[in-house]
Amino acid sequence: MKPVEQRAGLSTPVGPVWVEARDGAITRAGWGAAEAPATPLLSETIAELNAYFDGRLTRFTVPLRPGVCGLSARVLDAMLKIPCGETRTYGDLARDLDAPAQAIGQACGANPIPILIPCHRILSSTGLGGYSGAGGIETKVALLKLEGAASLLI
Query: Annotated active-site positions, please?
Result: 119
Within the chain, where are the H helices?
40-53, 70-80, 90-97, 101-109, 137-146
Q: Is 6 left (phi over 0), alpha (psi -120 to 50) or beta?
A: beta
- Which residues have a Cβ under 8 Å from the Cβ of 127 and sit 6 or more positions away? none
